[in-house]
Structure 1
Amino acid sequence: MATGAGGTQALEAVVLAAGTGSRFGGGKLLAPFRDGVLLDGALAAAFAGPVRDVWVVTGADAEAVGDAARAFADRTGESERLRLVHATEHAEGMGASLRTAIAALPADAAGAFVFLGDMPRVPLAVLPQLADALSAGAPAAAPAWQGRRGNPVLLGRPLFSRLLALTGDQGARAVLQALGDRLALVDAPDDGVLFDVDERGDLNAVIPDGR
């Protein structure tokens, strides 16, 4: 875990879990998944990363999503590292959720992983590689699969001021695009960095191989 001691980076993880899941028909992150709910997949990856704490941003279904996050943390022994923060302007879109998360992070955070709550197949092996890219001087790092940029992204502190100015539903996309070739791309071991759940049928795609 990145603690900030001995010259290591102090990194945090953000899990964006504020959306309504309208294409799914509502309640997407709370849909049954394995022995828990869909949100658990993103939480598992976030807690497995080289980070200090995991910040879950709630919005729609805030109470139920918060309860689900606490249940996962309790079940996995990670309660002390879980932080919940509510995006009061979540209806505006992902920009509001990300603004809320970045504003809540500790002042010494060197960077933040941004996980999407509906992406349950993130390959854990890519997370330390993203951290290494940031440590090597990249302002941000992202995984890529077959030439396509995926998630989660890791954003360095120098970008936080731009993230705090985000609006709408584009998240950090414009910030990353503005970096051009300064954005470090790390080859991912599989397409889990691209896979998300938009509709109920998408859940079937994460069951066959057990991931």
Structure 2
Amino acid sequence: MVTGPKPLAVAIILAAGRSSRTAPAHKLIAPDASGRAMIIRTLTSVMASKAAQTVLVVSPDLPAIQQSVLEAFPAHPSLHICTAEQAALGLSVSLRTGVEQAEQLGASAVLVCLGDMPLVSPAVLDALIATQNEASPPPAAAPEWQGRPGNPVIWHSSLFPALKQREGDQGGRSLLKALGPAVRLIPAPPEELVDFDTPERLATYAHL
């Protein structure tokens, strides 16, 4: 039996936000109990998954994040750091930047991850990636969070144009809503689906 090429899933980590809710501390360089920055912990998990390549989207205004990553992953062949030059205009700019880079890498699906969700395991990420290896992959898949799609989300290439058309400070949430039951929900441990985006949660992260 002749089969086509294996789908190429590229992970995109959105790390260009201003972290205004945790100011003056920036959440993505906040350390855990071992001193490891949050973005490094997120990257470590994503790069341990079956994603073929990883795209990290950063802001030009936050060089400390890129510096931290380059120190932890010097010259890593599967890691691509790209800058969302107009990141201040909102999440959509970072998303568009990441999808465009993934397209250049030949992606047939993108796994969009948030930099402030470092506890998501490679097992959950691999379960999402596996949906795109099916004969008829869903347009999107996400971990189930309180009965609805959570983050991260994997998107089939048929949704790339729509993802790039987002505007302002919006990601793919409205697209997921429009897709409704077509979105595949994957079981996931709820304790992994935590975003550390407040001072209180950063204090918790510091002991993990």
Normalising by structure 1, report the TM-score. 0.87
Aligned partners of 2:142 and 2:151 also within 8 Å: yes
Superposition CA RMSD, Å: 2.0
Residue segments in structure 2 that go unaligned for 5+ positions in a row: none
Structure 1 residues 127-146: Cα deviation after superposition (integer angstroms, max 9, x where no partner): 12111222221011101134
155-164 or 52-61, which deviates more: 52-61
Query: What is residue 124 of structure 1 aligned with on the other side?
Result: 122
Aligned length: 201
SS at match of 2:77: helix
SS at match of 1:36: coil
Deviation at 1:57, TM superposition (A): 0.5
In structure 2, give the amino acid aligned to 1:132.
A
Structure 1 residues 100-148: Cα deviation after superposition (integer angstroms, max 9, x where no partner): 1111122521111111111111122111211122222101110113424
Are 1:196 and 2:195 an aligned pair? yes
CA distance in 1, matches of 2:43, 2:118: 8
Structure 1 residues 3-54: Cα deviation after superposition (integer angstroms, max 9, x where no partner): xx97322111111000110110142211222332111122122102211221
Query: What is residue 73 of structure 1 aligned with on the other side?
Result: 73
Greater RCO (Cα-Cα under 8 Å, separation 6 or more): 2
Structure 1 residues 177-196: Cα deviation after superposition (integer angstroms, max 9, x where no partner): 11111111101033312x11
Q: How does 1:162-181 map to 2 (within 5 A)?
A: 162-181=162-181
Are 1:104 and 2:139 an aligned pair? no
58-67 or 168-177, which deviates more: 58-67
In structure 2, give the amino acid aligned to 1:86.
T
Query: What is residue 30 of structure 1 aligned with on the other side?
Result: 29
Residue segments in structure 1 that go unaligned for 5+ positions in a row: none
CA distance in 2, matches of 1:178, 1:71: 41
Query: What is residue 160 of structure 1 aligned with on the other side?
Result: 160
Aligned partners of 2:196 and 2:205 also within 8 Å: no
SS at match of 1:141: strand
Aligned partners of 1:58 and 1:84 also within 8 Å: yes
Normalising by structure 2, report the TM-score. 0.88
Aligned partners of 2:95 and 2:171 also within 8 Å: yes
CA distance in 1, matches of 2:28, 2:83: 16
Would the alpha carbon gap of residues 173 and 147 (structure 1) be closer, same or farther in structure 2, given more than 3 Å must change?
A: same
Query: What is residue 112 of structure 2 aligned with on the other side?
Result: 114
SS at match of 1:80: coil
